[in-house]
DNA sequence: CTGAAAGCGCTAACAT
DNA sequence: ATGTTAGCGCTTTCAG
């Protein structure tokens, strides 16, 4: 027996049934909100359950029914605002449809980490898998027996059981870039996210699209790693190029670092160089100078995916 | 039958056993790394399992063994850097000891949300519960049948099955405050976090301790809600008081908002007012002016708790 | 070192 | 509207 001697064995549904003087199956019906149970009986069962402190055994339920009512999400183990917000949105959305969430994190740089994370989720018996901020680590979606939802990947990523939902951050990126062009800049530079991330590529695509639509020259892209530190380095670098008058950064952290890099090099923001970020972190309006940024609708994205 | 007709039924351990010509129990032994299995047999079993694409059924294992090897964590559904970092640390720590994580989020302001979250975790059959960034919502730890670890609560919070691990952020807060005093300030003001949070109270305690130890006057505390916006308001307010020369903010977001509030009121930072934050968010060194801050050892805290 | 039998606590089909 | 009978796929005894 695994049960400790000091804690009295937990009550099971038969115990409740006995106390309520009904069959065990009726208890099951009550706890599953199935129809065809008289109010009278339902009340009795609930009272008995309450008295005993009964709690439905999830493992047994899953085993017998074949469905776990849980879905797994693969996410990056970082405190970055974007991925975190998306995860929170997913959690809400999943719970709203009556499922629970299993989280598996991958570490950046660990190629094949996604596959491993998916494996571990499958071992836990999830009914479906969401791959949150996917990165392109070679391996396409594995052939697995449950539905997979890939957030932010191009539709080309879809497969038999695989659905891909785009965040359309390319559109937002395009708008952000156009905003800068509307200010009268000849062109806009871009500090991109790591190009292994689909979301980074999306933003770059949106930026490029905007420039082409206006026939603007397309400057060389500086690639960062989402961190303020990398944005700072990009800023120092861009400051040496006096054609730079406007910069679109792929996230707010890099934008903030970028601004500092530019300022340290003697440039004024926004007088000499305009900067636009991406994500709309809560801090954005409070740094000096305040950061203009595009807001991503994380909650909407998360909700959309759950068909 | 719950199995879809289009997906061939998943293999079970008996199938593996048949193919490997051993008993089903032996398959179980191999997959649990139990001793007393000859290398020869182990290899045969693994080969058969691999060929069939066998995967141990977690629900059945949990049901039969009575242990889920999963622990639940109650956390706040925000993208705040502190709680998020702590959660990531917890995830790593939990996985390192061979457990999986179940997450339940609570919404701030929803009194009793913690109890509800704990309920849902228990329904999912976790072996233990971690309450991460606890807030004081009246209800003490409920009497539940599994071990509970409360991170960042005072030892007084402990109970029969309840362990409390302090983050000792009070010590860090004290050091931060002393740092400001060492700079020659007559006293230090404090922009606190919401006092329902234990971690906010800890920081306030540390600040107060430092002032008392030096015999400094103890100014009125301004309470924020962790956000940059609330820090900004605090800044505007403190700017009207010309005794303010140094401020310790309970987190970096508030510190950044605070700085902006002070600057907008015509004060220079750090020339007129020194500001120290708390958390050491990655951005801290890249805002203008750079933020001095105390770093919390999230990973260590998380690891410590797992006895 | 390996195997046989007996459940774990529930849901699914079929009664009634 | 409620009860009966079988399992779900594994781990646990207890035998060899």
Give the DSSP per-residue string, B11-27: P-HHHHHHHHTS-HHHH
State how far the alpha carbon of B118 is from the alpha carbons of B86, B89, B105, B163, in Å.
18, 20, 10, 15
By percentage, how much of chain B surpasses pLDDT 70?
A: 82
Fill in the DSSP letter of residue A288: S
What is the band of B209 on the pLDDT scale with cuts at 50, 70, 90? very high
CA A289 – CA A269 distance, rounded (Å) = 7
Going by C-alpha positions, the residue among B40, B43, B59, B48 that lies closest to residue B17 is B48
- What pLDDT sits at residue A257? 95
Test A120 with B100 for CB contact under 8 angstroms. Answer: yes
CA A280 – CA A81 distance, rounded (Å) = 9
Protein contacts of strand C with Cβ less than 7 Å away? A 9-10, 12-14, 24-25, 28, 31-32, 56-57, 60-61, 63-65; B 1-2, 22-26, 29, 35-38, 40-41, 60, 63-64, 66
For B13-56, which CATH class? mainly alpha
Q: Which chain B positions have a beta carbon within 8 Å of A105's beta carbon?
A: 88, 91
Q: Sign of torsion, CA B217 B221 B222 B224?
A: positive
CA B301 – CA B291 distance, rounded (Å) = 24
State how far the alpha carbon of A101 is from the alpha carbons of A87, A256, B118, B235, in Å.
10, 33, 14, 40
pTM of the model: 0.86
Asked if the model's pLDDT at residue A27 lies above 50, the reply is: yes
Of B65, B120, B227, the CB nearest to A282: B227
List, for residues A242-254, the tens digit of each pLDDT value: 999 999 999 999 9
Return the CATH number of the domain spanning residue range A169-296.
3.40.50.2300
Cis, peptide link before residue A185, omega less than 30° from 0: no
CA B286 – CA A277 distance, rounded (Å) = 15
By percentage, how much of chain B surpasses pLDDT 90?
A: 35
Asked if the model's pLDDT at residue A64 lies above 70, the reply is: yes
Test B259 with A101 for CB contact under 8 angstroms. Answer: no
Mean pLDDT comparison of A124-138, A166-180, B57-71, highest-scoring range = B57-71
B56 touches strand D (CB under 7 A): yes
Higher pLDDT, A298 or B180: B180
Token look-up 């090897």 returns B69
Task: Identify from B117, B257, B282 which residue to disrupt to test chain A contact, counting A C-beta atoms within 10 A and taking the largest count.
Answer: B282
List, for residues A210-240, the tens digit of each pLDDT value: 999 999 999 999 999 999 999 999 999 999 9
| Burial class (CB within 10 angstroms; exposed 0-12, middle 13-18, buried 19+) of A268 | exposed
pLDDT, mean of residues B211-219:
95
What is the band of B104 on the pLDDT scale with cuts at 50, 70, 90? confident
- For B47-197, strand residue ranges (E) read 70-76, 100-106, 128-131, 148-151, 162-165, 189-192
Residues of chain B with CATH 1.10.260.40: 13-56
Give every strand in the sheet of B246-249, ordered side by side: B222-223, B189-192, B246-249, B274-279, B292-295
Residues 6+ apart with CB under 8 A from A58: B123, B124, B125
Write down how long chain B is. 307
Test B88 with A100 for CB contact under 8 angstroms. Answer: no
Higher pLDDT, A298 or B245: B245
Distance from CA of A287 to the nearest CA of B (A): 6
Pair of tokens at residue A87 = 């995860």
List, for residues A265-275, the tens digit of each pLDDT value: 999 988 999 99
Domain B70-165 has CATH 3.40.50.720: no
- What pLDDT sits at residue B109? 58
| Burial class (CB within 10 angstroms; exposed 0-12, middle 13-18, buried 19+) of A188 | buried
The spacing between the Cα labelled CA in A299 and the C1' in D3, in angstroms, equals 46
Longest dimension (CA), chain A: 85
Residues of chain A with CATH 3.40.50.2300: 70-165, 169-296
pLDDT, mean of residues B201-229:
94
**A69: closest chain B residue by CA:** B124
pLDDT, mean of residues A14-36:
88
């Amino acid at each position: 027996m695994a049960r400790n001697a000091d804690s009295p064995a937990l009550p099971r549904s038969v115990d409740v049934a006995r106390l309520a003087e009904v069959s065990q199956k009726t208890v099951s019906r009550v706890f599953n909100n199935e129809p065809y149970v008289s109010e009278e009986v339902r009340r009795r069962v609930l009272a008995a359950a309450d008295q005993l402190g009964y709690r439905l055994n999830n493992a047994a339920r899953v085993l017998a029914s074949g469905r776990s009512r849980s879905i797994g999400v693969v996410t990056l183990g970082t405190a970055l605002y974007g991925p975190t917000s998306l995860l929170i949105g997913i959690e809400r959305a999943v719970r709203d449809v009556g499922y629970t969430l299993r989280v598996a994190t991958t570490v950046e740089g660990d190629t094949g980490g996604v596959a491993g994370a998916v494996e571990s989720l499958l071992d836990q018996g999830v009914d479906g898998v969401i791959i949150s901020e996917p990165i392109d680590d070679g391996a396409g979606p594995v052939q697995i027996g449950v539905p997979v939802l890939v957030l932010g990947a191009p539709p080309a990523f879809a497969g038999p059981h695989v659905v891909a939902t785009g965040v359309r951050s390319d559109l937002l990126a395009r708008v952000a870039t156009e905003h800068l062009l509307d200010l009268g800049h000849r062109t806009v530079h871009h500090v991109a996210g790591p190009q292994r991330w689909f979301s980074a590529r999306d933003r770059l695509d949106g930026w490029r699209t905007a420039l082409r639509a206006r026939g603007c020259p397309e400057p060389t892209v500086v690639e960062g790693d989402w961190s303020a530190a990398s944005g700072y380095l990009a800023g120092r670098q861009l400051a040496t190029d006096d054609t730079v008058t406007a910069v679109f950064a792929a996230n707010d952290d890099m934008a903030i670092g970028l601004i500092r890099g530019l300022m340290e090099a003697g440039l004024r923001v926004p007088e000499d160089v305009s900067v636009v970020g991406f994500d709309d972190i809560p801090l954005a309006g409070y740094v000096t100078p305040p950061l203009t940024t595009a807001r991503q609708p994380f909650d909407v994205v998360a909700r959309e995916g759950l068909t």
